[in-house]
Structure 1
Amino acid sequence: MRKILVATEKPFAPVAIKKISKIFEKEEKEYDLVLLENYTDRSQLLQAVADADALIVRSDKVDAEVFDVAPKLKIVVRAGAGYDNVDCSAATAKGVVVMNTPGQNSNAVAELAIGLAILGIREMFSGKPGSELRGRTLGLHGFGYVARNVFRIARALGMKVIVYTRYSKGAAAAIGLKVTKSLEQLYEKSDVVSIHVPARGEHIKSVSYQVMKHLKDGAVIVNTARKEVVNEPDLVKIMEEKPNIKYMSDLTPDCEKEFAEKFSGRYFFTPKKAGAQTAEANINAGVAAAEQIVAFFEKGDTSYQVNK
């Protein structure tokens, strides 16, 4: 019998757990699904994972310490797209496969991105005259699952959409998107910039002063990615230099205090990361994680592996 541990400080919805359970129950081979929900101490995770064969997490931290105490562990699935909470190098060293569930949260995050854009361009619904998205240019910084859904919604709203991507130029062009020659050009031509790149490699602090200085004064920056992709001191500098720029984010930056002191009415931060916090995304990601674990054990399927 394989032990499948679902360890979530922020639990899945009950309906998601019910669907996850059914996936394991219908298999001929036995799986023992164990839930560790709302845990308050890391020692609880370390104790529960010690004899686990597979682990499903959300934003829970899975580092070398976890892999050291779990000799039977073969696979970790992060239910969601981002996986910076999992130490992939430590997993690889222990021979553990790490997967994410790309695309399962993408519509939820995309809808939030558009919602934040509307909030910004309408002056936070403060009573001040705002603007409309129709006829405006939306620049997509990155072209993954979320960005493609943002494109779909933005096009329906009558926006012109452009994109900067280094790795998906063909896919973007194939659906009629204009690909800019540089990131600087994207920021220069956009009324709204929506950021959709992972917090790793070349993307860390890629939203820098050298890029943002090309923004129109009055542009709205929407960040539903990670705070690490934005150079925060540079962001503060450009907000000071261009007094009509707004920054709308699905996470609170480290410079929140400075924003509160200097930029009242020009920013919005969700209280906690909310992009994937919908009932639908919660279910989709959990079910996908369970299905990927079954496919891994029964068929050796590693299609969604993110570590090597």
Structure 2
Amino acid sequence: MNILVATEKAFSPFAIRQIREVTEAAGFTLVLLENYTDKSQLLNAVSTADALIVRSDKVTSEVLNAAIQLKIVVRAGAGYDNLDLQACTSRNVVAMNTPGQNANAVAELVFELLLYQIRGGFSGKTGSELRGKTIGLHGFGNVGKYVADIARGFGMDIYAYDPFVSERVMKNNSAKQSTDINEMYSKCKYISIHMPLNEKTMKSVGYELIKKLPQNGVVVNTARKEIINEDGLLKIFEERKDVCYLSDIEPDCKSVFEEKYKGRYIFTAKKMGAQTEEANINAGVAAARQIVDYFTKGIEKYRLNK
């Protein structure tokens, strides 16, 4: 049984060692395709794979057509918009993710971005503090809960909006429930976005929401760039000189920000939320264990295409 780890952005060496231990202990063969630069390399590698572990790599219909003996693909991470679930289903390939495994890494990045911005990029200029400030969490899954925990440590006033999470769960995690998303954006100086990308969330945060932010409001996006309506974002940046946007992935309109809005944005060079040793290990090993459990016990706990 061949388990292929195919990653444009490789796991850490220590994570690979642990993935290998899990797969080889079950009698499977681990195959690595790391830091590949051309899709043809992936298409060639998947042709002999029974199982596939990816990170943000796109598993498309073309990839699945080449993977003639593939039975399961696991996205090592929570977001799975890089998996074509319909194509997986039509080819009888089980698709899974590993929710929660990199949540703390993403949550910590929220505050790394925030602190750098509100302290003026550590330039020596007078900055601001987080204690006593309001933060609104747009989405309250695994990452949102960790963000709330860290925000509590900073002494922040925490609000959360998520129609799929109860008030009790939010209260147990130190957040006050917001039932009106417009009200939360109006109330909170800092907004941190933690929604999955789907048809409903695509371009759902734009001009009408962002314009409601208080003076010197900041939007932090460690989810997906497609959640932001970039036309609306640019419009509010043109109208208001106080709003900032911090993102864990460069928007398509990056060049406009570079030309016109210096000092009001931070974009990571590559999506960095899960780029910690711990998150690498957690997500990679979880993916390997889920594959082993699927083949040996028929467990499909985190199956996405049911």
TM-score normalised per structure 1: 0.96
Cα distance in 2 between the residues matched to 1:60 and 1:288: 17
Equivalent of residue 119 in structure 2, options 115, 118, 122: 122
Deviation per CA, 1:75-121: give whole Å up to 9, x if none.
Answer: 00011111111111110111111111111111111000011111222
Q: Alpha carbon RMSD of aligned pairs, Å? A: 1.2
Runs of 5+ consecutive residues of structure 2 not aligned to the other structure: none
2:14 is aligned with 1:24: no
Cα distance in 2 between the residues matched to 1:236 and 1:88: 33
Cross-structure match for 2:103? 106
Equivalent of residue 68 in structure 1, options 56, 60, 65: 65
Cα distance in 2 between the residues matched to 1:177 and 1:13: 34
Cross-structure match for 2:192? 194
- AA paired with 1:24? T
Secondary structure of the corresponding residue to residue 35 of structure 1: strand
Cross-structure match for 2:176? 178
Cα distance in 2 between the residues matched to 1:288 and 1:73: 19
Please state how far the C-alpha of 1:183 moved relative to its aligned partner.
Answer: 1.2
Deviation per CA, 1:11-32: give whole Å up to 9, x if none.
Answer: 21111111111112222xx311
Where does 1:223-262 land on structure 2 (aligned, <5 Å)?
A: 223-262=221-260
Secondary structure of the corresponding residue to residue 149 of structure 1: helix
Cross-structure match for 2:214? 216
Please state how far the C-alpha of 1:62 moved relative to its aligned partner.
Answer: 0.9
TM-score normalised per structure 2: 0.96
Change (3 A) 1:176 1:18: closer
- AA paired with 2:31? V
Cross-structure match for 1:165? 162
Cross-structure match for 2:289? 291
Percent identity over the alignment is 55
Secondary structure of the corresponding residue to residue 220 of structure 2: strand
Equivalent of residue 277 in structure 1, options 275, 278, 287: 275
Tell me the number of residue pairs that the alignment of Structure 1 and Structure 2 aligns: 305
2:22 is aligned with 1:13: no
Cross-structure match for 1:55? 52
Which segments of structure 1 move beyond 6 Å, counting only runs of 4 or more?
none
- AA paired with 1:11? A
2:41 is aligned with 1:44: yes
Cross-structure match for 1:133? 130
Secondary structure of the corresponding residue to residue 114 of structure 1: helix
Q: Is the 8 A contact 1:121 1:220 kept in 2?
A: no
Please state how far the C-alpha of 1:123 moved relative to its aligned partner.
Answer: 2.3
Please state how far the C-alpha of 1:127 moved relative to its aligned partner.
Answer: 2.9
Cα distance in 2 between the residues matched to 1:18 and 1:117: 34
Deviation per CA, 1:198-238: give whole Å up to 9, x if none.
Answer: 11121111112111121112011111011100001111111
Please state how far the C-alpha of 1:176 moved relative to its aligned partner.
Answer: 4.1
After superposing the two structures, state which structure 1 stretch, 245-254 or 6-15, moved more.
6-15
- AA paired with 1:290? A
Cα distance in 2 between the residues matched to 1:175 and 1:66: 41
Deviation per CA, 1:126-169: give whole Å up to 9, x if none.
Answer: 33321100000110000011111010001011001000111012
- AA paired with 1:41? D
Please state how far the C-alpha of 1:173 moved relative to its aligned partner.
Answer: 3.2
Q: Is the 8 A contact 2:163 2:179 kept in 1?
A: no
Please state how far the C-alpha of 1:266 moved relative to its aligned partner.
Answer: 0.8
Cα distance in 1 between the residues matched to 2:47 and 2:273: 31
Cα distance in 2 between the residues matched to 1:258 and 1:36: 36
- AA paired with 2:56? S
Runs of 5+ consecutive residues of structure 1 not aligned to the other structure: none
Cα distance in 2 between the residues matched to 1:10 and 1:177: 34
- AA paired with 2:145? R
Q: Is the 8 A contact 2:148 2:174 kept in 1?
A: no
- AA paired with 2:284? G
Secondary structure of the corresponding residue to residue 296 of structure 1: helix
